[in-house]
């Protein structure tokens, strides 16, 4: 199959997976909203011109021209304004932002006045609002678990085995060296007579069950005697040598290199299916890393902007747009050094990580993100609960319309970020090769 066709196939598969994720995200909002009786007038995948739609009951279901997002329209998202003792609206009522809020309420009124009050979103109990707004990002969390679970538990991960894939001819001079240039000392594995294809079963009389166990034993051995139990062509044999102390990469950035025992073997790789516990722990690790990436996004965007205008090289750890992720998917599909199984595993992992990012990003407690509406519902619960405990009048529903200036500001920032990211992904993209 031509490489251009494979590239296109990878992009299309990723794009379809992304559109499906968006569609399911909106279903995560719509199903509980309808369950709680809220009137949902639209369920749309994409933005712009509607290219197809059908109406079922109260809801118009459709697809728009640009499938880079989606939305559902619930009636009564904005409550009526709170009035003071003079029957005047409280909060921001004047100036540009006052008009903005008033216009938003007016647009809501057109549908609100023709809808039964019990079906208005703002009339829901606070915990129902939380469920409705959390339903979308939680759907992405479920998708991430399913996709990563399919990779880890179904396809399996390529992990180092006890089979020897390669024997180093020398003791590498530095931790970053890739060949024997500058080194004349034969490696302990070479001196012992180890060969590619051997399987190491014991080290200094202790049976080894995994590469990690063998690697730790070698490193802890320092410059000591090493007795290797090996199986070669079905026959057991014992090989003897002495490991040497050599610099190797440390476990942290601060610990660049460490002096450890060195044997000089490269393990083979085998595909192993992982347990559900591995999926859970890996999801926890991915969640921490994704959360950290989100908090660092503002400062990373400075580097993206510089890369977009050609001031500096693109940081491989910088954020990507949908365009950048699609390019990576295309590269994965055309990588001929890995099997089709590995390509599918990488594509599914990419989709899983994107879904996890979408979920965590949407939980940011600012409008227009889902987390902003969740924060509004929790604020409402707190203020009404405190008033009830103090015997004071019910303060009523949280007026999230007062946060619309923040919502429009954040939306503008997100649009600018999106444009910069897309441009950077076109002129200075992140590639698999780095």
**How far apart, in whole angstroms, are the C-alpha atoms of residue 278 and residue 58?**
44
Point out the residues that are catalytic.
26
Instruction: Give the ranges where 264-339 is alpha helix by DSSP (H).
Output: 276-295, 297-308, 322-334
Give the CA distances from residue 133 to residues 138, 295, 429, in Å, rounded to whole numbers and listed in that order: 9, 22, 34
Do residues 204 and 226 make contact, with C-beta atoms less than 8 angstroms apart?
yes
- Give me Rg for the CA atoms of the chain: 29
Orientation of helix 340-362 relative to helix 276-295, angle to 10°: 50
Do residues 28 and 20 make contact, with C-beta atoms less than 8 angstroms apart?
no
Phi first, then psi: what are they for 236, rounded to 5°? -85, 140
What are the structure tokens assigned to 225, written together? 């005697």
Report cis status (omega within 30 of 0) of the bond before 368.
yes
Residue 20: name the closest of 420, 399, 381, 352 by CA: 352
281 Cβ contact list (under 8 Å, min separation 6): none
């Amino acid at each position: 199959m031509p490489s251009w066709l494979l590239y296109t196939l990878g992009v299309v598969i990723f794009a379809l997976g992304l559109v499906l994720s968006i569609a399911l995200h909106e279903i995560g909002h719509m199903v509980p909203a309808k369950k709680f009786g809220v009137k949902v007038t639209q369920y749309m995948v994409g933005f712009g011109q509607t290219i197809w739609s059908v109406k079922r009951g109260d809801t118009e279901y459709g697809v728009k021209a640009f499938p880079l997002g989606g939305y559902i329209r619930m009636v009564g998202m904005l409550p009526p304004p709170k009035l003071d003792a003079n029957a005047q609206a409280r909060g921001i009522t004047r100036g540009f932002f006052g008009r903005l809020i008033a216009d938003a309420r007016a647009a809501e009124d057109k549908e609100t006045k023709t809808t039964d009050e019990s079906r208005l979103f703002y009339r829901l109990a606070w915990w129902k609002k939380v469920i409705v707004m959390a339903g979308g990002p939680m759907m992405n969390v479920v998708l991430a678990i399913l996709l990563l679970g399919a990779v880890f538990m179904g396809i399996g991960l390529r992990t180092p085995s006890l089979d020897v894939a390669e024997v180093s001819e020398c003791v590498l001079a530095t931790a970053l060296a890739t060949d024997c240039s500058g080194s004349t000392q034969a490696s302990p594995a070479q001196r012992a007579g180890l060969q590619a294809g051997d399987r190491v079963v014991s080290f200094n009389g202790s049976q080894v069950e995994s590469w990690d166990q063998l690697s730790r034993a070698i490193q802890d051995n320092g410059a000591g005697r090493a007795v290797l139990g090996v199986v070669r062509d079905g026959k057991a044999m014992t090989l003897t040598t002495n490991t040497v102390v050599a610099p190797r990469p440390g476990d942290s950035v601060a610990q660049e290199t460490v002096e450890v025992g060195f044997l000089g073997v490269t393990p083979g790789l085998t595909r192993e299916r992982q347990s559900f516990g591995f999926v859970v722990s890996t999801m926890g690790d991915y969640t921490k890393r994704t959360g950290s990436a989100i908090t660092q996004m503002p400062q990373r965007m400075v580097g993206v902007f510089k890369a977009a205008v050609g001031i500096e090289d693109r940081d491989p750890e910088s954020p990507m747009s949908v365009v950048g992720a699609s390019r990576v998917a295309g590269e994965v599909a055309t990588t001929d050094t890995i099997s089709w199984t590995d390509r599918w595993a990488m594509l599914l992992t990419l989709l899983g990580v994107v879904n996890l990012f979408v979920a965590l990003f949407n939980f940011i407690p600012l409008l227009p993100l889902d987390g902003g509406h969740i924060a509004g519902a929790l604020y409402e619960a707190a203020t009404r609960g405190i008033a009830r405990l103090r015997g004071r009048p019910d303060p009523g529903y949280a007026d999230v319309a007062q946060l619309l200036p923040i919502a429009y500001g954040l939306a503008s920032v997100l649009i600018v970020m999106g444009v910069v990211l897309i441009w950077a992904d076109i002129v200075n993209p992140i590639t698999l090769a780095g």
